[in-house]
Amino acid sequence: MKGISSAVAITAAGLLAVTGNAEPLPRSTKCKQPLVQDKPLVNSIHLKDLMKCAQDLEDIAYATTARNRVHGSEGHKNTVKYFKETLEALGDYYKVELQEFTTEVTLASSTAFSADGVELVTDAFEFGNNGTWTDVPMVNVANLGCDPEDVPDAVAGNVALIARGTCTFVQKLENAGAKGAVAAMIYNNGEVGPAAGTLAAVNDLIPVGGLTRADGLALAARIDAGETVTSSGTYWAYVTEATSHNVIATSKHGDPNNVLFLGAHSDSVDKGPGINDNGSGSCGILTVAKALSKWRTNNQVKFAWWTAEEEGLLGAEHFVNTSSAADLAKIRLYLNFDMIASPNYYLGIYDGDGSRYNVTGPPGSDVAEKLFEDWFAARGLTTFGSEFNGRSDYGPFLDAGVPCSGLDTGADGVKTEAEVGIYGGIAGEQYDQNYHSAADNVTNLAEFPFEVNAKAMAHVVATYGKSWEGFPARLPSNSTALARRHVHARSSSAPKKHVCGVNEVLEY
């Protein structure tokens, strides 16, 4: 994603035991296939298939020197090949296309930082410029460094120390650089590891690194007390232009004017294989696509594995920008799945109705959210509204006025005590403690949310693959481009909570 221990009473094995005995009918030819049915499709989604796919993606990454699946890399090219060949092996059910896309990409990076000779945990920013300095004093920047007057003249020739928050990283760096800082260190605003993020594109900003909140506050206090704190840093990244592909699979039957579209990004960051982020979402929609190939649908179903999400949602943005308004208007609903097996998970549904974050999506986003909510509720599972901020590949679709929904289990946000009471896990730690790191591998996937979220996907596919009854008609494309920023009175910020919690077996 572009930024729990599974010790719960429901086990993946228990889930399989009660749902694994109802398989779809075998298919013969498309015209003789049975119309998709909800329960059999949902029950055909199995953890073993999801984990097999995840292991395949890890193996693809680890077979390369870089051990990742970054857009344009050998690992990602082999990922694209894997999805394409898997889909083509299903016969003639889908039209499988590769959409080429070229952009800048960070293929490798290295970071190091010390203060007065003491090594501190640090991280880099995507599209951060290379820089090395030795024994250069640090100077505090007031407030959050969002206004030019926050930056003292004393930063000239020195390293600016800035707190994360409120404005963009780019704005902070522009302000510090304008006063002559040679580099900047940004410390986090939560106890979730060192600050990190993206600067969105190649730029001419000063070099930057990230620090933890604790280390940043400690350094700031020393500087405020009059101490001279000298720093040394090395931030290096290899950024080049790379070409890769979106993989798009479209069912050859079903109404092409009323399309259900599911997507997940297929690339990783350079630091690891990216198995939760986003092998989990990629494998979720692949498993559903395979299961659906045994059924006929009344409405066309489309799947996409987007490239270059980690570079700024670029693959999905390219698809939207190169699609006609008429074709975008045929998409009744876009569903996004990014990080659905976080180890310190919660169960999140994009907040399309604005009940938690006070921002709604285009009409229909709320209806899709409710469909997901009801499915989880029927299984006694608590869900929370996830921030509907366009942070993943649904963002370009929202901007084009396409109704959107989706599921996630958390990235770099911090788990609360209340969530621990519902799902287990560790309060005060990130939902994915391995986010954007080498440890984002198969070993650290949470199996329960992986399977239950994939089954929820299948439920929505069966529902809207059969009928759009009760779903609002599409408005013309781009007519609601600002819909995701529409603010209305907030009714409640409470989770969609059901009394059974997660202490009962999932029975269809």
Active-site residue numbers?
Answer: 309
Separate counts of helices (H) and strands (E) for the chain? 13, 18
Closest by CA to 163, choosing from 141, 181, 182, 192, is 141
Per the CB < 8 A criterion, the answer to whether 120 and 113 are in contact is yes
Per the CB < 8 A criterion, the answer to whether 276 and 265 are in contact is no
Distance from C-alpha of 209 to C-alpha of 84, rounded to nearest angstrom: 38
Distance from C-alpha of 414 to C-alpha of 342, rounded to nearest angstrom: 12
Secondary structure string (H, E, C) spanning 370-435 = HHHHHHHHCCCCCEEEECCCCCCCCHHHHHCCCCEEEEECCCCCECCHHHHHHHCCCCCCECCCCC
In angstroms, the Cα distances linking 432 to 52, 344, 428, 435, 508 are 21, 6, 12, 5, 29
Per the CB < 8 A criterion, the answer to whether 285 and 457 are in contact is yes
Tell me how crowded residue 462 is: count the other CB atoms within 10 A of its CB.
Answer: 22
If 0-12 CB within 10 Å is exposed, 13-18 middle and 19+ buried, where does residue 21 land?
exposed
Distance from C-alpha of 172 to C-alpha of 445, rounded to nearest angstrom: 35
For residue 452 the two structure tokens come to: 């239950």
Torsion of CA 201, 341, 451, 386, to 10 degrees: -70
Closest by CA to 340, choosing from 436, 447, 495, is 447
* CB-facing half-sphere around the CA of 44: CA atoms within 13 A: 24
CB proximity list for 107: less than 8 A, separation 6 or greater: 66, 70, 72, 73, 238, 239, 240, 242, 270
Distance from C-alpha of 373 to C-alpha of 336, rounded to nearest angstrom: 16
Per the CB < 8 A criterion, the answer to whether 485 and 407 are in contact is no
Q: How many residues does the chain have?
A: 508
DSSP secondary structure of 168-190: -HHHHHHHHHHTT-SEEEEE-SS
Cis peptide before 257 (omega within 30 of 0): no
Written as one letter, the residue type at 91 is G
